[in-house]
Amino acid sequence: MQNENKDDKRIQNEKTAALLKRIGQYEMVIPTLVDEDGRFLSYNVSNYDSQGRVRRDLTNQENPSTVFYRISAFGQEFHFRLQINRELLSRSFSVGAFGNDGEEHSVNIRRNCHYVGYSRRPHESTAAISNCFGLHGIFQTQDEDYFVEPLWNDTSSDSGKGHPHVVYKRSSMQFPKDNVHCGVTDIFEKKDKSVNDNTRHIRSQGKLKLKKNRIPRSAVSREKNVETLVVADHKMVEYHGKKVIQSYVLSIMNIVAKLYHDASIGNAVNIVVSRLIVFEKEQANLTLNHDADQSLYNFCKWQHFLNFSSSSGHGGMYHDNAVLLTGYDICSYKNEPCGTLGLAPLSGMCGGDRSCSINEDIGLASAFTIAHEIGHNFGMRHDGLGNDCGVPGSNMTAGLMAAQLSKETRPFNWSFCSRNYITEFIDSEKSACLDNSPVVHVKQIDPRVQEVKRDSTEQCKIMYNSQSRSCKPELVCSELWCVDEQGECKTKGIPAADGTGCYITNTKEKGWCYQGECRALDYQPQPVDGSWGQWLSWDMCTRTCGGGIESSFRRCNDPEPRHGGKYCVGQRKRYRSCNIEACQNSEKDFRELQCEDFNKKPFRGKYYNWKPFSGAHDKPCALNCIADGFNFYTEQARKVIDGTKCYPDKMDMCINGKCLPVGCDGILGSVVVEDFCGVCNGDNSSCYTVNGTYNKIVSPGTYQEIVRIPKGAVHIRVSEIVESLNYLALKNMSNMFLINGGWTVDWPRMFYGAGTVFNYERLDGQPEVIHSTGPTTEDVVFMIILQEHNKGIYYEYNFPKNTSGSPANSSYIWKHFWSPCSGTCGKGRRTSVPVCVNSQDQSDASETLCDSTSKPDTREEDCNQNPCPREWSVSDWSHCSVTCGAGRKIRTVLCVQVVSQTEKTILPDSDCVLPKPNSHRRCRRTDCPPAWVAADWGKCSSTCGEGEQKRDVMCMTSDQRKYLDSNKCQSDQKPAIVQKCNDNVCPGPEWKAGKWDTCSAKCGKGRESRVVVCLDHAGKLSSGCDARLRPTLVRECQSYCESKHSPRLECTDQDHAHFCPLVVKHKVCNRGYFYRMCCQSCRDAEQTP
């Protein structure tokens, strides 16, 4: 326990040091618990003590639902009224800790100590504050966003003097990286798919059952609940400690939930924490590091597996979205620290392994990162990227979805663009997982209006200049009047900010401005829930014929939600059918017109003719178009124009990207259907059924006719009796195959023919089917391509009865007789006129004996299909390749052979006999205009300090093919030829010392000197060195004395004076006199080591 306390103390000291390093301007405060009137009650503001135990003075079983706190900071006093946030945690909320082996053990759930509310007078603000271990949270005024949190390294007791807290502004936060940003990722598309996300090669399509919605989801504003799994990794636990990690993370999520309750989001969204997981150690099955992309990918897969296993084996632990809080300094493009704060897949909400995000822990401000990344999961894009929010010149400001976190960012509000993105997502089927209600709903706290007292003169200074002051104080709330630069009292027609001091007109008492009026000082604006306004008028129909849609909407503005009030739920938009009369025959299919709009837009560098593709059953309301003549299709638009049919053979319409039911009467939401005869709301009495089986034994390797279906047939169905290697085919009366012609088997799909839509289905292990609701506008012939013996074909269709109410005489049929062919090669044409004949002996009969309603039209077909001779085919010359100067034109020259009137075969050039025409030729336009052309900059003249670099600038033609005299170019536009370079500061001057000279004394003590100079970085003399640091110029030196008259030669073996001990002591034996007088003592001293 003692070691554990030491670890906690170390962690607290490190956290405090890191916090104060991260923030710039801050104030130390002592918050107090007060009563509703602001009277002091206690310094005890924590729900738990320092050991994580519930306070003894909290006698209630649950925390008080309402608490009041007072904080004084930055010259302002805030009186907070807070209510417990009962919507933060789900009913089944659990906390689990994962150890070394990945095994989970349960952790005691802390009592709910997370509050939201507002500051009372005199300074208004909204707040989200937790009191688990001191006050953790955030509050917002009109001017600034503030964080409050306790100092962890304080050892004083709360009871006597209170616990110190720090309050700091969001604008003063300092980030270690210059480029602090968010990442939005598509890593799952990159890892799982090799083809462009919205481009598909055609594959065999299965039959899908589509769910129909009676009420358009897009018309209703619904309350959404995001059940959230929050995971704190081992780095977080190491930094914050096990005791407070739970309350710390939930304090952050309390702020996130508040951000999603802001009315600017335009929807009712609850962030509900359903499960908290804490990694006490690194996990072997989940690799996390600095690499944000890989860590996010690993985490998303991990949480998806956890969700799957939990939902199947641990009921109640399911989550819609997963949030990873990590202690790593993450980076979105490399495995080392950088400025990335978070990363999330776009539109991943409810998407299994894409409904997730990774968020770097930066303190309480992590709440903004989490809210931002969840916004990406909701489909929100960055403000200003692909939209106009926050773009210079736009009146739409950026909000919480700004791409980069900066001091100027206002993170509490959602931009208009973010509101549209999340509304579009919530109105779609993708948001279905958020429809359940995991929370015990109680009345939500009504956060207070977020205004601050302001000075009108300060506002004038901001509006005009530092010398300006306010005038006409009696009008300040409705219009702010200021003295301008010329000394005149003027107004720009805007009121002073809410919270500005004023005087009430009648009583002359002091008050404060609120929404254009002067209110009493004790006026407290109450939260107001939003309510729907009146329906607006119907807008223009999306189509002029053939059935369109018109819509009307209403706004949540009667009243708008204010001061934290709830957003409206219910129907926000309604639809109805319009212009349901049929279009003329010449009118193109509405979906076809939308595909054709992309013909003039390049797709991967090429142009294609696009046709509607109806095989993508999973997205009937996406604009899927197939490239004509190719086997791929692409999603050109996420949703078609409202009023477009979901399927060619059905009446159902697409509205806001969803397929909604339409009756056969063309009315949206109608339940009226066609009968088997194709009659809307009919009784099946106007037609009869024709059916039969084709069992003829024929040889494989041929096309064989099965049945001829007459004009006007409805509910046609032709199918194999059992699965086989054979294929069904269909052609019209022009002998043109609609499906599976020319010995080519098409992919299963819908296709047009005979005035109706046919469905060709081929599922593995099942018989082939071609069916259509009809009616047909001409006869069609069903055929079989035999690859093996015929196993049987069943056909059936309904046909209208004649005027007498009975079928026509089936003994007589219409038959064709062909005219001579119109050409000798390249597929000529021939025609025929229908003749009524006896079906038994093929003899001619009167037309009155045949059914006039099924009489086929005159038919045409190809004949003499042998290819024509080979020849050169040339295209028109292209435009000149340049607009000025020398260029060239090109054209396509191909050797071709005409094989039909509409088809040519391209052959090798060697197959054509005649000489090949030219495919290139020169062209020349007028000379290109003169222009200055600058070469690259030369080397800088200096490696540091201010230098120069030069370059050549020439006058040339704009295509840079020809040099011109300088006077041909405009001199005032000539680029610079010299520029400054190397602005980095050079190293300062320093002292340089030379070698010491020879000692001045040849014997005994002397002096020696050296040269010391101050040199700059270039080795030149300078006067900039610090004189106090200059090295020594002169020092003492000693030279050894030795001569032929050395006094030692005159020494005797005895001393001649009583002061000899002093001679040795003061070391003056080298002097001749003393040596002679004290020879013995000096010699003894020399021999002594």
Which of 113, 142, 146 is closest to 127 using CA atoms?
A: 146
- What distance in Å separates the CA atoms of residue 623 and residue 592, rounded to the nearest whole number? 10
Distance of CA 489 to the CA centre of its chain: 48
Is 433 assigned a ligand-binding role in the annotation? yes
Measured CA to CA in angstroms, residue 861 lies from 733, 817, 821, 826 at distances of 8, 12, 9, 13
Q: What is the crossing angle of helices 416-426 and 366-377, to 10°?
A: 50
Around Cβ 971, how many Cβ atoms within 10 Å?
A: 9
Q: How far is CA 89 from CA 269, 271, 318, in A?
A: 14, 9, 13
Other C-beta atoms lying within 10 Å of the C-beta of residue 20: 14
Dist CA 941 CA 560 (whole Å): 66
Q: Which residue has the tokens 């009962």?
A: 86
- Please answer whether residues 827 and 738 qualify as being in contact, where contact means their C-beta atoms are separated by less than 8 angstroms: no
**What is the C-alpha separation between 934 and 945, in angstroms, rounded?**
25
The region that residue 499 occupies, defined by phi over 0 for left and psi between -120 and 50 for alpha, beta otherwise, is left
Give 653's strand partners. Answer: 645, 660
317 and 310 in contact (C-beta within 8 Å)?
yes
Q: Which amino acid is at 885?
A: G
Catalytic residue among 149, 360, 373, 761: 373
**In angstroms, rounded to a whole number, what is the distance separating the alpha carbons of residues 806 and 143?**
85
> Exposure string (b/e) for 174-201, b if CB count within 10 Å is 16 or more?
eeeeeebbbbbbebbeeeeeeeeeeebe
**Beta partners for 963?**
956
The pair of structure tokens assigned to 137 is: 């949270």
Q: Check whether 182 is labelled as a binding-site residue.
A: yes
Give the pairing of strands 870-874 and 893-900: antiparallel
Q: Tell me the one-letter amino acid at 324.
A: L
Q: Would you give the DSSP letter of residue 583?
A: P
Confirm or deny that 372 is annotated as ligand binding.
yes
Is there a contact between 825 and 863 (Cβ–Cβ < 8 Å)? no
Tokens linked to 760: 């060709």
In Å, what is the CA distance from 846 to each residue of 783, 814, 832, 836, 858? 29, 11, 18, 6, 18
Any idea what the Cα angle at residue 798 is, between residues 795 and 804, rounded to 5°? Answer: 140
Please say whether the beta carbons of 430 and 349 come within 8 A: yes
Is 105 marked as binding a ligand?
A: no
**CB-CB contact of 563 with 526 (8 Å):** yes
Amino acid at 423: T
| Single-letter code of the amino acid located at 469 | R
DSSP type of residue 380: P
One-letter amino acid of 877: W
Sequence-ordered list of residues with C-beta below 8 angstroms from that of 224, at least 6 positions apart, any chain? 267, 268, 269, 270, 426, 431, 434, 435
The answer to whether 460 is annotated as binding is: no
Torsional class of 974: left (φ above 0), alpha (ψ -120 to 50), beta (otherwise): beta
Across-strand partners of 707? 782
Residue 373 annotated as catalytic: yes
Q: 11 with 240: CB under 8 angstroms?
A: yes
CB 680, CB 765: distance < 8 Å: no
Q: What long-range pairs does 473-481 form, CB within 8 A, spacing at least 24?
A: 473/502, 473/503, 474/503, 474/505, 476/500, 476/502, 476/513, 476/518, 477/502, 477/513, 477/514, 477/516, 477/517, 477/518, 478/516, 478/517, 480/456
Residues making up the annotated binding site for Ca(2+) are 227, 320, 433
Q: Show which residues are catalytic.
A: 373
Please give the annotated binding residues for Zn(2+), written as ranges. Answer: 182, 372, 376, 382
Task: Report the binding-site residues.
Answer: 182, 227, 320, 372, 376, 382, 433
